[in-house]
Structure 1
Amino acid sequence: MNASTGSATAPRGGTPIRSSSGIWLVAEREIGSKLRSKAFVISTVVLMLIALAGILIGGFASKNTDATPIAATSQTASAVSALPDVKVTEVADADAAEALVRDGKVDAAVVPGDGATGFTVIALKDAPSSIVAGLSQAPTVEILEPATTNPLLRYFIALGFGIVFLMAASTFGGTIAQSVVEEKQTRVVELLLSAIPARTLLAGKVIGNTILAMAQIVGLAAIATIGLIVTGQNEVLSVLGAPIIWFAVFFLFGFVLLASMFAAAASMVSRQEDIGATTTPITMLIMAPYILVIVFNDNPLVLTIMSYVPFSAPVGMPMRLFVGEAQWWEPLLSLVILLVSCVVAIAIGAKIYENSLLRMGSRVKLGEALRG
């Protein structure tokens, strides 16, 4: 490769490789090496199975709640049937209802009464509190800051987005870093650079690992969709559909940004044991959104800030869309910020990568890598 121009130089007796062809050759090499790895295949399958099991178990658990058996007359059956988690047995009159309670066939009976509610609850020893509360006249309640979603569901959705982002970004980012250092350590990079420019090599690595990461994200999204449909959680799916799509879009560009940084950081060292010295700051940037979205999933201010910071936008913006706190234009603005940041990161990362790739021995300092 010509050091001043970065143009490709043909191998002896061969022909130059076009940049586009070189990029896809490198990308195919990255994808093939990963797919041939039994550890990667097994870990991916296990991750998919865990995701599916979690959704199915959660869905069936929410459906298989024990219904309280209640006796009711024709006058009270409609009101009792409207209560959650009850199994109504309709009887002819109050005496028949009382008989079922005494025989232990139902937990309680609801019959017409003379009180303010018009109902009387008959129980053997203790009346079910859920039935009493459901038939009571509650006072008018005014909530100043109503919760937009179920707090428990909100927490699990935040946990899901955080874990998927953390695992995918760290796994494939680490793969790029190890690949770069391995090629330097074995001097394979010198052979590669004799055929293709350094920027082409970098682009191929980023694209190849981005394809693998996105395939994993799409697979998890498909499993989540199937699991919600099978367990009858269509309401959750209707609310979660758009955030999942936005998560995939933001993750695509966010990972390209991170992948470029991982490759650039790894090119500054020549030994596998030194990778952590340069990639730790990037790893911290990946862990930060995971921690913040779990701890502050109910804090609108923190989520708003996260949704506009490039490193945390893939997690923060989908969460705000899920809870209904984002306006229609906000994900578009956040995506523009992410794209601009991605271009800047790629430009800087490519310069560091190109200037450090052939430097062996001690770690290259960041200032030297930027100056060339």
Structure 2
Amino acid sequence: MSANHVATGGRGAPTRSGDASRDQPPAPSFVDSVSLVAGREITMRLRSKAFLISTGILMLAVLASVVLGGLFGGQSEPSKVAVVGAAASAVEGNPALDPVPVADQAAGEQLLRDGEVEAVISPEASDPLGITVTGLDQPPGGVLQALAVTPSVELLEPAPVDPTLAYLIAFGFGIVFFMSAITFGTTIAQSVVEEKQTRVVEILLSTVSARALLTGKIIGNSVLAFGQIVAIAGLAIIGLMVTGQKVLLGGLGSSVVWFVVFFAIGFVMLAALYAGTAAMVSRSEDIGSVTSPVMMLVMIPYIAIVLFFSDPAILAIMSYVPFSAPVAMPVRVFLGQAEWWEPILSLAILVVTTVVAVVVGERLYRNSLLKTGSRVPLREALRG
């Protein structure tokens, strides 16, 4: 009776070995696992004071550069001048001068002494231009420059964009991509090694697969990086609108859009390589040795673009190299050097390269994640 009681359970119901397994919750799907890991990565970064402070500093630097560019690079206020009688025709339609009509020379001189105008312009029959300019204590350089007669100028090979502005745009795109890639790439690498060093990854792998864990890390950090770039682009556009730099805003529009698109795909490529190479070591001190090749793939194109932005041939070549295309192609779009189909072709090359990088990074990550101790050789990590 006792044996029968045990076999049938306390209430006479038969007990099967499969009942316990059916009571356990089902394993999460791949999509659910990726969502959980990505959400964990985003939450951890948003709670990090270092991340929030660095993002705030970067945003303030972008806003300050736009505002200062508007203050020092934009046109100054028109010079206010007192105009006597028929001299008004000499300043009519001149955007650099703000005329104030006065009854006579004495009234204009009084405004000049009161500091309300910078000069007095009055008719003068003996002067070749038919006017004379009166200053207070020194020649009014701004007024004289505005009145100067400039001959017509022709250029054999006119540059579509000012060289200084072209350099600033190339430098701006380059530094934003470089800093974001290095910052978030290093964050991914440190996270991988930290989980491996503390053996937290063994607990995670008991619930989710290595592929889901890597995908979640890439998506989570890519969302943060992409959000940061969109916020920077939006802040720059607002700054250009507020400071009245509408001409520059019109020229930057399409290039900024292409930069955001190229950045989103290019960062996924770099994130996969950072995670895969970091999994090959077990100590934080060794991260630099394995991720330095990836860092050089970001640094060398950045330096080359800043140095050779004025060389159309080199810039064209770099716009098709996957690691430099996210900066080189938007710069060429801004300079008007790219045909309509070139960004599409360059983007297709970048997508194919990103797929290859994700496959290689996933293989390195999966084959090295549970191997502790010394650094895993690259050949062994690839073969598994």
TM-score (norm 2): 0.84
Instruction: Give 3-state SS (helix, strand or coil) of 1:141's partner.
Output: coil
**Cα pair distance change 1:122/1:40, threshold 3 Å:** same
Moved more, 255-264 or 27-36: 27-36
In 1, Cα distance between equivalents of 2:308 and 2:93: 36
Name the aligned partner's letter for residue 232 of structure 1. G
CA-atom RMSD in angstroms: 2.8
Instruction: Give 3-state SS (helix, strand or coil) of 1:259's partner.
Output: helix
The residue number in structure 2 matching 1:23 is 34
Name the aligned partner's letter for residue 54 of structure 1. S
1:52 has 2:63 as partner: yes
8 Å contact kept, 1:73–1:97: yes
8 Å contact kept, 2:87–2:131: no
The residue number in structure 2 matching 1:89 is 100
In 2, Cα distance between equivalents of 1:339 and 1:66: 48
Name the aligned partner's letter for residue 133 of structure 2. I
In 1, Cα distance between equivalents of 2:93 and 2:364: 66
Name the aligned partner's letter for residue 27 of structure 2. P
User: How many pairs does the alignment contain?
Assistant: 362
Aligned-pair distance for 1:271?
A: 0.5
**Cα pair distance change 1:300/1:93, threshold 3 Å:** farther
Paired residue for 1:163, among 175, 179, 185? 175
The residue number in structure 1 matching 2:212 is 200
Moved more, 125-134 or 255-264: 125-134
Aligned-pair distance for 1:104?
A: 7.2
Aligned-pair distance for 1:81?
A: 5.0
Aligned-pair distance for 1:207?
A: 0.5
8 Å contact kept, 1:101–1:122: no
The residue number in structure 2 matching 1:5 is none
8 Å contact kept, 2:74–2:245: no
**Cα pair distance change 1:200/1:69, threshold 3 Å:** same
8 Å contact kept, 1:107–1:128: yes
The residue number in structure 1 matching 2:223 is 211
Instruction: Give 3-state SS (helix, strand or coil) of 1:71's partner.
Output: strand
In 2, Cα distance between equivalents of 1:22 and 1:74: 82
In 1, Cα distance between equivalents of 2:293 and 2:125: 71
Name the aligned partner's letter for residue 30 of structure 2. S
Moved more, 125-134 or 166-175: 125-134
Equivalent runs, 1:158-197 vs 2, <5 Å: 158-197=170-209
1:253 has 2:265 as partner: yes
8 Å contact kept, 2:121–2:134: no
1:35 has 2:40 as partner: no
Instruction: Give 3-state SS (helix, strand or coil) of 1:147's partner.
Output: coil
8 Å contact kept, 1:69–1:108: yes
8 Å contact kept, 1:121–1:127: no
The residue number in structure 1 matching 2:345 is 333
Moved more, 320-329 or 270-279: 320-329
Instruction: Give 3-state SS (helix, strand or coil) of 1:308's partner.
Output: coil
In 2, Cα distance between equivalents of 1:110 and 1:34: 64
8 Å contact kept, 1:264–1:352: yes
**Cα pair distance change 1:64/1:320, threshold 3 Å:** closer
1:122 has 2:133 as partner: yes
Once the two structures are superposed, residues 16-62 of structure 1 have per-residue CA deviations (whole angstroms, 9 ceiling, x without a partner) of 22111111111111111111112212222232233223323332445
Moved more, 171-180 or 306-315: 306-315
Aligned-pair distance for 1:197?
A: 2.1
Equivalent runs, 1:1-372 vs 2, <5 Å: 13-62=24-73, 65=76, 67-92=78-103, 106-112=117-123, 118-124=129-135, 127-372=139-384
**Cα pair distance change 1:61/1:183, threshold 3 Å:** same
Aligned-pair distance for 1:209?
A: 0.4
In 1, Cα distance between equivalents of 2:172 and 2:214: 31
Instruction: Give 3-state SS (helix, strand or coil) of 1:88's partner.
Output: strand
8 Å contact kept, 1:81–1:87: no
The residue number in structure 1 matching 2:18 is none
Name the aligned partner's letter for residue 243 of structure 2. T
Aligned-pair distance for 1:353?
A: 1.4
Aligned-pair distance for 1:245?
A: 1.1
8 Å contact kept, 2:78–2:96: yes
**Cα pair distance change 1:42/1:74, threshold 3 Å:** same
In 2, Cα distance between equivalents of 1:61 and 1:139: 26
Unmatched 5+ residue regions in structure 2?
1-20
Moved more, 279-288 or 243-252: 279-288
8 Å contact kept, 1:243–1:318: yes
Structure number with greater Rg is 2
TM-score (norm 1): 0.87
Aligned-pair distance for 1:205?
A: 0.7
The residue number in structure 1 matching 2:17 is none
Name the aligned partner's letter for residue 272 of structure 2. S
In 2, Cα distance between equivalents of 1:47 and 1:347: 32
Unmatched 5+ residue regions in structure 1?
1-9
In 1, Cα distance between equivalents of 2:127 and 2:297: 60
Instruction: Give 3-state SS (helix, strand or coil) of 2:81's partner.
Output: strand
**Cα pair distance change 1:315/1:119, threshold 3 Å:** farther
Aligned-pair distance for 1:303?
A: 2.2
